[in-house]
Chain A
Amino acid sequence: GAGVSQSPSNKVTEKGKDVELRCDPISGHTALYWYRQSLGQGLEFLIYFQGNSAPDKSGLPSDRFSAERTGGSVSTLTIQRTQQEDSAVYLCASSSTGAHGYTFGSGTRLTVV
């Protein structure tokens, strides 16, 4: 597509439920990144993919967080047993090569109640 697409744009979930956030990168971009932005905070790096492989998962805040990417395209970030501290905007970005800068999606605003 023309840009990075994320869905849903907003998600309200009850504490303890699982959620899936989707990212559709720019066609042909091999690198895909997930970041989290909490209220008033900067961007916290979570995980990135080169193709379908995630070489570095060290940014994931806990084992409740996981991500996958299939076909070198769409990625899903899953948060299990959501907690209130998971409330944030989850941003996805893609790039042809990381050093050239990313194109970000509009994000998914997750609210855990």
Chain B
Amino acid sequence: AQKVTQAQTEISVVEKEDVTLDCVYETRDTTYYLFWYKQPPSGELVFLIRRNSFDEQNEISGRYSWNFQKSTSSFNFTITASQVVDSAVYFCALSEARRGGTALIFGKGTTLSVSS
């Protein structure tokens, strides 16, 4: 069975600190996709990044960076110089092949609180 584990339930940091959100996954698929979503207090899920299993290059987008390591089945997310607006629940997700298509399986999320 496919599974996504986000071991950190809650993280609290002070503005300008760097923070890393961990994500470990399990899959038997050879081709798969990994995602990160942000859910701010407003509730809407915001897509952050998609990474396919053949691309292990790290990616940086502004203050956000992602470290994908197939050897450890991890897809960690780092926010550099955190800001109060980064406070949200962050979900890691894994694509799962389903009959007729795919579905995303989500971890339970990590709640990040950034204080000023």
Question: Using a CB–CB distance below 8 Å, which chain A residues touch chain B?
Answer: 31, 33, 35, 41-43, 45, 48, 50, 53, 55-56, 59, 89, 91, 93, 98-107
Contacts and interface: CB of A to CB of B under 8 A. Distances in A.
Contacts of A102: 45, 47, 104
A42 B108 contact: yes
Contact of B43 (A31, A33, A50, A107): A107
Nearest to A106: B44
B59 to A, nearest CB: 14
B14 interface: no
Nearest to A105: B44
Contact of A42 (B42, B95, B109): B109
Contacts of A105: 44
Contact of B99 (A31, A55, A104): A55
Instruction: In the A-B complex, list the 7 residue pairs whose CB atoms are closest, starting with the nearest.
Output: A55-B100, A98-B102, A42-B108, A104-B45, A43-B106, A55-B99, A56-B98
B45 A50 contact: no
B105 to A, nearest CB: 7
Interface residues of B, number: 24
The prevalent SS among residues of A at the interface is strand
Interface string B97-116: 01111111111110000000
Contact of A33 (B99, B103, B109): B103
B66 interface: no
Given A56-B103, A102-B104, A43 B44 contact: no
B32 to A, nearest CB: 9
Nearest to B95: A99
Contacts of B104: 33, 45, 98, 102
Given A42-B91, A42-B108, A45-B105, A101 B50 contact: yes
